Amino acid sequence: MSMYVKIAINIPTESHFTYSVPQALSGDAAVGKRALVPFGARKLTGYIIGFLSEPDFDDIRDILDILDSEPLFSSEDLAFYSWASSYYHYPLGKTLHDILPGGIDLKSDRLFKVAAGHKAPSNPLPEGQRKILDLLGAAPKGLSLKRLRRLLSGSPIRRDLAALLSANRVIAEEGLEQPEIRKKTEKVITLVAGRSVPARLSAVQQRVLSYLQEKGTACFPELRPFACNPSPVVHRLMEKGLVSLSEREVYRSSEESPEMSILNDIHLNDDQAAACGELESALSSRRFKPFLLHGVTGSGKTEVYFHAIKQALNSGGGALYLVPEIGLTPQLLSRVRNRFQGEEIAVIHSDIARGIRYDFWRRLQRGEIRLVVGARSALFAPLPNLRLIVIDEEHDSSYKQDVRMRYHARDLAVLRAKLQNAVIVLGSATPDMRTFYQARQGKYDCLSLPRRVENRPLPQVRIVDMKAEREETGRIPVLSRALITALEETLNDGSQALFFLNRRGFHTFLFCPDCGTVLFCPNCAVSLTLHAEANRLQCHYCDYAVKTPSLCPKCGGRDIQFYGAGTERLEKEILSHFPHIRTARMDRDTTARKGAHTRILKSFDRGEIDLLIGTQMITKGHDFHNVTLVGVIAADTALNLPDFRSAEKTFQLLTQVSGRGGRGRKEGQVIIQTINPDHFAIQRAKNHDYTGFHEEEILHRKSLGYPPFSRLIILQLSSLNEERGRREVEEAGRMARAFTREESSRTMPVEVIGPAEAPIAKIKGRYRWQIMLKSDNLQALHFLTRRLLTSAASRKLEIKVDVDPVNFM
Ligand SMILES: Nc1ncnc2c1ncn2[C@@H]1O[C@H](COP(=O)(O)OP(=O)(O)OP(=O)(O)O)[C@@H](O)[C@H]1O
Ligand SMILES: [Zn+2]
Ligand SMILES: [Zn+2]
């Protein structure tokens, strides 16, 4: 009887495909393995997602090969991945491709090879051509254009390649390209048991043999001390039947992160012990249970996570510990390694080399590693016996991926825990509005750490009204007098300081320094964004627009202006006041190079830097004990993002950055510079009042019907042609509105906001718009989204779906 498999393929279609399995491969086929399949004229890698007993089409083709000796994911994992794929409207084949380790797939492509008759030219070739020839010479099966580019780190090669082709030095033909990442193996030499050693052995052979008698097996490099080229020696011994040769897989692993200062020997305080107790009993019941761990900054949440992880591992299960991308610091890794000595840890994030990731993946799947520490993508790691998921800093927006599948790792983590009967802990000092709202509704059990460890006080926060600091010119200075004085005191004291500056949203909004007014959209309660060329202010939710006013609409002030500075300008300003200060900047520019981020943090940790200036990167998770001053240069930039969460983001940011101060023996102080000193988000942050903030903000959300009182889906529409794009976008908007008027939709109303020009109206030649769908009925939202996707498929309009959007830029 024939066997049929369902296969998902990495192409932009929702559906999967049916193939038959030839007799010779039928023993190998299994869910979670990859298969090489014919697809049109090409050969592609597909993922086996199920079996069929009968064909559901005519004209079914055979799979060509099975590419894995063991599955890369289980049926249980597949159920989770499929859920994510349909919830985020991202095709299953593409979802699997993104989730699985990169670089392992096989596919047919146009491959370039050195021509058979090629001889070295009499005149030396240009460097570009020579490099290509060298690479191709080392790859007898050929290389695709994409791979060549990658190997030449992106330098332009088209012209050189064309020259080589026309000179007949290189040929191109269709073929199967070998995957970039494969299992790594090494040869092992094994002593054959029970052979009597002949008398006539050379001295070297003798030494190798006695080494093997001691060790049992060895690989070639181990034998170098006996012979610089051990290979002929081993072959002699093989001929005599004394040893045998085989191949075994070796695992690649990430380099160790060097130690940073950490405290050991910690005794849990009462609050920590209570939280650990609750987690312990939940873990032992082996059922799904979600917790919110709400603990102020420096309250020792990490200790609680460690405790729970230890228990999960001790009971034979696996644990997943997720931190925001930026929180994955050498300090944290040292802490984890230190605490879980003897335990193998899979560290998974975007900087981990693909070969290492592939090895981790398979060892996790086999149950050889049971602890994963990583950023958002680590959520998909296969863990056969998952007992615990920890999401540290659960409010952090880096858990949301904004390209390809736009998933939220925290939200998916809760689902995964539910599917796999695990305990999940969402931890934060500033929980997401929705998380806290749900905890209050009883969806999560709340664990709380209301105090800092060892009863250290939270830092004193002072707010400086920058409107009162205006100079004679009417401009607002970068540094207030209060901040300059405080920095001076900190330096005299031998302590360190952190200055935080928000780069996002700079120079995009206008404000009035006389009354602090920033212009907001009357419909959506988000700030209006300036389009300087068109001299107008515009709302990116609903497209409302006004001409840029020259007078303040509220107080009539004439000084309407921008304000703020980048980290570079700030550093200059500081140096003009403190010429001898040792500063370092941490932003996207200074940390672009690999390892730079770590280097800066380490040198700050060693006290080689007095003042660290940075963007969001410095606000999270760091535990430096000598920081006594935290300065926030302009709290308003976050407040004025065109985003309904701007108050929440401001509160989180201020609380988190404040929380970096006073974590050691000396008390900390925080100075917040702002032009909105009375704003509730700033006031509540000053008083370390999370609950107060939540209660005030939730009223705003309710009155405007924003989450958690509704769900949102944003459709990002784009087109290469501005005119046609705009027409089609308007048509999509009309369709969406018509849907909301339909009879069937009365029971499930969806509000359609927009279409509006996207915050960045043109990227890479594509014109962009967006439509926001809002409803408290999630089913209705998904239903309408699917419909709009289907209708757009027939046009030139590209639609990307962002379910539960977080970042609006
Ligand atoms: N019971 C304890 N006694 C003394 N020190 C402790 C205790 N628990 C934790 N610590 C130490 O307190 C510091 C802060 O702990 P941790 O980093 O876990 O805080 P946190 O709650 O995660 O803070 P944040 O949210 O600001 O990152 C660490 O240096 C940790 O080693
Ligand atoms: Zn004004
Ligand atoms: Zn609006």
Query: pLDDT of 748-774, one tens digit each?
Result: 688 999 899 887 777 777 888 999 999
Ligand 1 close to Cβ of residue 453 (< 6 A): yes
* Cβ proximity of 324 and 393 under 8 Å: yes
Q: Are residues 59 and 157 both part of a single domain? A: no
Instruction: Give domain status of residue 796, yes or no.
Output: yes
Q: If you take atom 23 of ligand 1, which residue's CA is the nearest one?
A: 298
Residue 507 has pLDDT above 50, yes or no: no
pLDDT of 597 reads 78
CA–centroid distance, residue 794 to ligand 3 (Å): 30
Q: Are residues 685 and 631 both part of a single domain? A: yes
pLDDT of 566 reads 65
Residues with CB under 5 A from ligand 2 (ion): 512, 514-515, 517, 552, 554-555, 557
Ligand closest to 551 (CA) is 2
Q: Are residues 398 and 330 both part of a single domain? A: yes
Which domain CATH number covers 744?
Answer: 3.30.70.600
Which domain CATH number covers 384?
Answer: 3.40.50.300
Ligand 1 close to Cβ of residue 324 (< 6 A): no
Q: If you take atom 8 of ligand 1, which residue's CA is the nearest one?
A: 300
Residue type at position 593 = R
**Which of 453, 654, 663 has the most ligand 1 atoms within 8 A of CB, as the residue to mutate?**
453
CA–centroid distance, residue 465 to ligand 2 (Å): 15
Residue 509 has pLDDT above 70, yes or no: no
pLDDT of 497 reads 94
pLDDT of 581 reads 95
Q: If you take atom 30 of ligand 1, which residue's CA is the nearest one?
A: 300
Q: What share of the chain is helix, strand, coil (3-state, %, to 5)?
A: 35, 25, 40
Q: Are residues 419 and 365 both part of a single domain? A: yes
pLDDT of 664 reads 76
CA–centroid distance, residue 304 to ligand 1 (Å): 9
Q: At 665, list the tokens.
A: 């023996």
Instruction: Give domain status of residue 399, yes or no.
Output: yes
CA-to-CA dists, residue 690 to 190, 300, 303, angstroms: 64, 17, 22
**What is the CB-side half-sphere exposure of residue 9 using CA atoms within 13 A?**
23
Ligand 1 close to Cβ of residue 659 (< 6 A): yes
299-356 per-position pLDDT tens digit: 999 999 999 999 999 999 999 999 998 666 777 888 898 899 889 999 998 888 899 9
Instruction: Flag whether 446 is marked binding.
Output: no
Instruction: Give domain status of residue 255, yes or no.
Output: no
Instruction: Give domain status of residue 25, yes or no.
Output: yes
Q: Are residues 125 and 93 both part of a single domain? A: no
Residue 49 has pLDDT above 70, yes or no: yes
Q: What is the spatial distance between Cα 514 and Cα 517, in angstroms, rounded to a whole number?
A: 8
Q: What pLDDT band is residue 505 in, cutting at 50, 70 and 90?
A: very low
Instruction: Give domain status of residue 556, yes or no.
Output: no
Q: Are residues 157 and 231 both part of a single domain? A: no
Ligand 1 close to Cβ of residue 623 (< 6 A): yes
Instruction: Give domain status of residue 656, yes or no.
Output: yes
Domain-terminating residue out of 126, 152, 177: 177
**Which of 296, 302, 653, 657 has the most ligand 1 atoms within 8 A of CB, as the residue to mutate?**
302
Domain-terminating residue out of 121, 145, 177: 177
Instruction: Flag whether 539 is marked binding.
Output: yes
Instruction: Give domain status of residue 769, yes or no.
Output: yes
Instruction: Give domain status of residue 513, yes or no.
Output: no
CA–centroid distance, residue 538 to ligand 3 (Å): 8
pLDDT of 769 reads 92
Range of the domain at 400: 270-455
Q: Are residues 122 and 95 both part of a single domain? A: no
Report residue 360 CA to chain centroid gap: 18
169-221 per-position pLDDT tens digit: 999 998 888 888 888 888 999 988 877 777 788 888 888 888 888 888 888 88
Q: Are residues 283 and 235 both part of a single domain? A: no
Q: Are residues 492 and 638 both part of a single domain? A: yes
What pTM, to 2 d.p., does this model score? Answer: 0.88
Q: Are residues 52 and 199 both part of a single domain? A: no
Ligand 1 close to Cβ of residue 302 (< 6 A): yes
Alpha helices (H) in 88-239, listed in sequence order: 92-99, 127-137, 145-151, 158-166, 203-215, 230-239
Ligand 1 close to Cβ of residue 334 (< 6 A): no
Domain-terminating residue out of 702, 727, 759: 702
Q: Are residues 302 and 418 both part of a single domain? A: yes
The ipTM, to two decimals, is 0.94
Residue 439 has pLDDT above 90, yes or no: yes
Average pLDDT over residues 620-643: 81
Q: What pLDDT band is residue 731 in, cutting at 50, 70 and 90?
A: very high
Average pLDDT over residues 384-400: 95
* Cβ proximity of 20 and 60 under 8 Å: yes
How many domains, in total, are found in the chain? 6
Q: What pLDDT band is residue 128 in, cutting at 50, 70 and 90?
A: confident
Q: What is the DSSP letter of 484?
A: H
Q: Are residues 451 and 487 both part of a single domain? A: no
Q: What is the DSSP letter of 356?
A: H
Ligand 1 close to Cβ of residue 293 (< 6 A): no
